[in-house]
Amino acid sequence: MPARWTIHPVCNVGLLEPYREDPIGRPQLAMPAPEIIDSEPSYVVAEVVDSRWYGNPKSNFPHGFVQYLVAWDGYGPEENSWEPLEMLEGTAMQGLVNFHDKYPSKPRDHRVIDVIMRGKKRRR
């Protein structure tokens, strides 16, 4: 570690795992490179796994809002991340609707409720 870092160079041994080669000799899967759209990386959402309140749920946005646990296409579960709705709008709305249809009691952003209600009105 660089000398300018003022942190103690110790990590918890419980977090370490030995490297294990694949017994069959298969090559390790490479993570897919993101598409570059408008000079920014863009990733594909495989599915929405969970949702939670982030911050104080009784306060208004931005102090209390819903985050969604997203599984990314081509990446393992260790790469899942909590994302606010703004990061998922447009590209993952169908995944959000499917998630809330499957788990109606999970926390949801009010903007997703509007999309779900519009979809139910069209189906009739």
Give 12-26 pLDDT, tens digit per residue: 777 777 777 777 776
Q: Report pLDDT for 124.
A: 47
Q: Report pLDDT for 70.
A: 94
pLDDT mean over 83-112:
86
Q: Set out the domains of the chain in order of their start, with CATH numbers.
A: 37-123 (2.40.50.40)
Query: Can you tell me the distance from the alpha carbon of 13 to that of 42, in angstroms, rounded to the nearest whole number?
Result: 35
Q: Report pLDDT for 54.
A: 85
Q: Report pLDDT for 51.
A: 94
Per-residue model confidence as pLDDT tens digits over 34-91: 888 888 888 889 999 999 988 875 666 556 788 999 999 888 888 899 999 888 877 7
- Kindly indicate the confidence band of residue 106, based on its pLDDT and cuts at 50, 70 and 90: very high
